[in-house]
Amino acid sequence: MAGYALEVRGLHVWLRDKHVVKGVSFRCPEATITAIMGPSGTGKSTLLRALNRLIDLNPDARVEGEVLLRGESIYDMEPYELRRRVAMVFQEPNPFPHMSIYDNVAIGPRLHGLARDRRELDKIVRWALEKAMLWDEVKDRLHDSPMKLSGGQRQRLSLARALALKPEVLLLDEPTANVDPVNAVKIEEAIRDLVREEGVTVVFVTHLPSQAVRVSEYLIFMYDGRIVEHGPSREVALNPRNPLTERFFRGEL
Amino acid sequence: MGGPRRSGTRRRILDRLGLALIVALAILAVAPLFHILYVITLRGAEAIAHIGLKRFIVDRPHPFNAENPGGIGPALLGTLELSAATSATATLIALPAAILVAELRGSRISRLTLLLALTLVELPTILVGLTAYAILVDHIVGHYNMLAGILALTLVILPYIVVEASESLRQIPAGLREAAYSLGAPRTRTIYEVIAPAARRGILVGILIGLARAAGETAPLLFTIGGAYEAYHTCLTSEGGAVPLMIYQFIQMPFKPARELAWGASLVLLLIVVSIMVVARLLVREVRL
């Protein structure tokens, strides 16, 4: 039995005086997709930002509890190295506007010294763009500005930028919320391939129950800072045990 | 008695009157600008045409020679020197300050720096000139010198660059910062590789505004650079000239050639400042994120 890539134990987050994440525990098996769904404002994004310690940048945030990355506490790691191993894609496509498409993907490997020379860097950039299903669309204009790309392409570029870090875990914060349906499908496909072919473990936050069920092996339903239901996706979708989950699937929450 | 129709007419008349008043006031507000442009262009062009463009730009002035008044060469060179040196030093000091203001926003030192910059903007420039005089002319060098002018002008334009640059740094969306951190970039690299380059146009606009001010300011130069227009000077610790200071001094002379030179110099100064501002405006328009 493969181990767990990510293990969260009794995680609490306060933003100023507001208790946003209230004692959350779950585990993500290696090379699986866990979807976290729930209405907006239930602490999904905040929870995600605690997993790569991005929340440390918010001086008003206070975190309690344990997060283990392959058995090792993330608080014993350098945050920079942690963020290389646990990469993230955000809701808003956010490529760096002043860098070329190539440099956007190359910045991660450059920061962490992942490539020994230019040829290796080229290889990583190409690999990441292929995995994000963007290579064919941009291979002839790698040195153009990313601002010439469409919104969906920009989001796939953000995905490629994260993948170039060769992460073990990928955090996705509603990655298709600002993207057209065609691009949303491409992104979902890219992510499923990543898990299958590269063994990346994915935590996928979404507010769409249909998407959550479609992409994931495991499903977490969060409500008001707590995990209300957690289990294999099909099981949760077909037989929700908690009435709140049922109401969420019916679109009542 | 007037029915609804008559009161409708009255309302229409009042509406027209109100509009006419606003248009008239707007014209009144911009009229001085056009008058300034008109007068300076007319009299400046007349003077330069009389002297000849090349001679006017390159030659030394002969303010008492009605046949050949000469040109503003040394003063023009002085202004270019002052502007270049001032922008360079002010930028070097202002950029770290702007980054501090924008990055540590909310902290006491950030607020204090911004407050000081805003105060410095409001400070009468003649006081800044006086300070430079007291330090560099009176104490260290012993006579008028270009360095004192550079010091004074630097202090004058420094706060403009700090305010403008910190403002454009602050407008960089938080998402870019998060993205950089999420890639494992440390804070300094996030600032120097993502935040500052993304704000580069705004920063450049701030520098250009500073440059335009440095080229046009007179008061900080009154008792710092000395006003030597007769010769091309070579050393920053020697006296020098500048176009605005030359205008100030020559226009007051009771000789026609001196005043001709002053008008011509005014047109040159106007063109320098306006072209810098046009470039700055164009840059602002191109900003997109």
Nearest to A107 among B175, B183, B289 (CB): B183
- Whether B288 and chain A come into contact, CB under 8 Å, resolves to yes
- Per residue in B11-46, pLDDT (tens digit) is 999 999 999 999 999 999 999 999 999 999 999 999
- Residue by residue, DSSP assigns A184-244 as HHHHHHHHHHHHHHH--EEEEEES-HHHHHHH-SEEEEEETTEEEEEEEHHHHHHS-SSHH
Chain position carrying tokens 């490529």: A95
Distance (Å) from the C-alpha of residue B190 to the closest C-alpha of chain A?
10
**Sign of the C-alpha dihedral computed for residues A117, A123, A126 and A132 taken in this order:** negative
Flag whether B67 is in a domain. Answer: no
Residues A57, A72: Cα–Cα separation, whole Å: 22
Give the three-state DSSP class for A98: coil
pLDDT of B219 over the 70 cut:
yes
- Per residue in A109-149, pLDDT (tens digit) is 999 999 999 999 999 999 999 999 999 999 999 999 999 99
Flag whether B192 is in a domain. Answer: yes
Flag whether B262 is in a domain. Answer: yes
Query: Token digits for B203?
Result: 């920063």
CB contact under 8 A, A54 and B200: no
Nearest to A97 among B178, B186, B198 (CB): B198
Q: What is the DSSP letter of A147?
A: G
Question: Region A191-205: what's the mean pLDDT?
Answer: 95
pLDDT of B277 over the 70 cut:
yes
Do B45 and B115 lie in one domain? The reply is no
pLDDT of B287 over the 70 cut:
no
What predicted TM-score, i.e. pTM, was given to this entire model?
A: 0.81
Do B261 and B194 lie in one domain? The reply is yes
Q: How confident is the model at residue B282 (pLDDT cuts 50, 70, 90)?
A: confident
Task: Using a pLDDT cut of 70, give the percent of chain B over it.
Answer: 96
Phi-psi map region of B262: left, alpha, beta (phi>0 left; psi -120 to 50 alpha): alpha
Do B134 and B47 lie in one domain? The reply is no
Flag whether B11 is in a domain. Answer: yes
Q: Provide the number of structural domains found in chain B.
A: 2
Residues B241, B102: Cα–Cα separation, whole Å: 37
Q: Are B257 and B63 in contact (CB under 8 A)?
A: yes
Domain range spanning residue B22?
2-51
Residues B110, A87: Cα–Cα separation, whole Å: 32
Query: Token digits for B40?
Result: 């300076």
Do B11 and B93 lie in one domain? The reply is no
CB contact under 8 A, A94 and B175: yes
Question: What is the model's pLDDT at position A2?
Answer: 57
Question: What is the model's pLDDT at position B41?
Answer: 95
Query: Token digits for A48?
Result: 């995600």
Nearest to A88 among B182, B185, B193 (CB): B182
Tell me which residues of chain B, numbers 159 to 218, contact chain A at a CB-CB cutoff of 8 Å.
Answer: 173, 175-186, 189, 193-194, 197-198, 200
Nearest to A54 among B178, B194, B197 (CB): B178
pLDDT of B4 over the 60 cut:
no
Closest-approach residue (CA) in chain B for A88? B182
Do B171 and B274 lie in one domain? The reply is yes
Question: What is the model's pLDDT at position B289?
Answer: 47
Do B90 and B190 lie in one domain? The reply is yes
Question: Region A208-216: what's the mean pLDDT?
Answer: 92
Do B39 and B86 lie in one domain? The reply is no
Distance (Å) from the C-alpha of residue B90 to the closest C-alpha of chain A?
25
Q: How confident is the model at residue B3 (pLDDT cuts 50, 70, 90)?
A: low
CATH number at residue B257: 1.10.3720.10
Look over chain A and give the mean of its residue pLDDT values, rounded to a whole number.
94
**A220 DSSP β-pair partners:** A36, A230
Residues with Cβ within 8 Å of residue B143, at least 6 apart in sequence = B137, B226, B239
Do B47 and B169 lie in one domain? The reply is no
Flag whether B273 is in a domain. Answer: yes
Q: Are A163 and A132 in contact (CB under 8 A)?
A: yes
Question: Region A170-183: what's the mean pLDDT?
Answer: 93
Question: Can you give the length of chain B in residues?
Answer: 289
Do B37 and B151 lie in one domain? The reply is no
Flag whether B173 is in a domain. Answer: yes
Residues A46, A22: Cα–Cα separation, whole Å: 11
Between A and B, how many residue pairs show a Cβ–Cβ distance under 8 A? 64
Flag whether B197 is in a domain. Answer: yes
Do B20 and B118 lie in one domain? The reply is no
Task: Using a pLDDT cut of 90, give the percent of chain B over it.
Answer: 78
Q: Are A181 and A157 in contact (CB under 8 A)?
A: no
- Reported ipTM: 0.92
Flag whether B61 is in a domain. Answer: no
- Per residue in B170-189, pLDDT (tens digit) is 999 989 999 999 999 999 99
- Per residue in B117-144, pLDDT (tens digit) is 999 999 999 999 999 999 998 888 888 9
Do B121 and B42 lie in one domain? The reply is no
CB contact under 8 A, B176 and A96: yes
Do B140 and B280 lie in one domain? The reply is yes
